[in-house]
Amino acid sequence: MHPFANGETITLHRRTPRMSGPNKVYDSYGMLVYDTFDTVVAGCAVWPTSASESLQNEDRTNSNYTVAFPAGTVVAGVDAIGWRGLDFEVQGEAQRYERNPLTGSLGPVLVQMTRVEG
């Protein structure tokens, strides 16, 4: 699948574990430390999926979107996404379409992303 001609430009914040020799680096809380590298991907389609608001103990909103990246784009569950000046977290693993049996082309890579505010 080719990029969407009138698609959005997404900044993919790729996260890889920080290494010290052969060992992964953890912070003082035991959490894995990541290094982030940005990759710009043009020709993506983005559409809203759902939104919710929680008023228990705090005012918080979740905004969920689906992103269709061009075929072959690699997105990991630990990555983040920048879109229209906002940052989103990738939810789960990317869903990849197999090769179309009629055309032989690959389909888009679908990713769920969420923005939490509050």
Residue 84 lies in a domain: yes
Report the pLDDT averaged over residues 35-46.
94
Overall number of domains in the chain: 1
Residue 83 pairs in a beta bridge with 86
Residue 1 lies in a domain: no
Residue 55 lies in a domain: yes
Residue 3 lies in a domain: no
Residue 2 lies in a domain: no
Nearest partner of 66 among 42, 91, 99, 85, judged by Cα? 91
Residue 68 lies in a domain: yes
Residue 62 pairs in a beta bridge with 52, 116
Give the pLDDT of residue 61. 83
**Can you give the CATH number for the domain in which 38 is found?**
2.40.10
User: Residue 118 above 70 pLDDT?
Assistant: no
Give the pLDDT of residue 40. 96
Give the pLDDT of residue 87. 94
Residue 25 lies in a domain: yes
pTM: 0.81
In angstroms, the CA 33 to CA 97 distance is: 31
- Per-residue model confidence as pLDDT tens digits over 17-37: 999 989 999 999 999 999 999
Give the pLDDT of residue 104. 79
Report the pLDDT averaged over residues 75-100.
90
Report the pLDDT averaged over residues 63-84.
93
Give the pLDDT of residue 51. 84
Containing structural domain, residue 86? 8-117
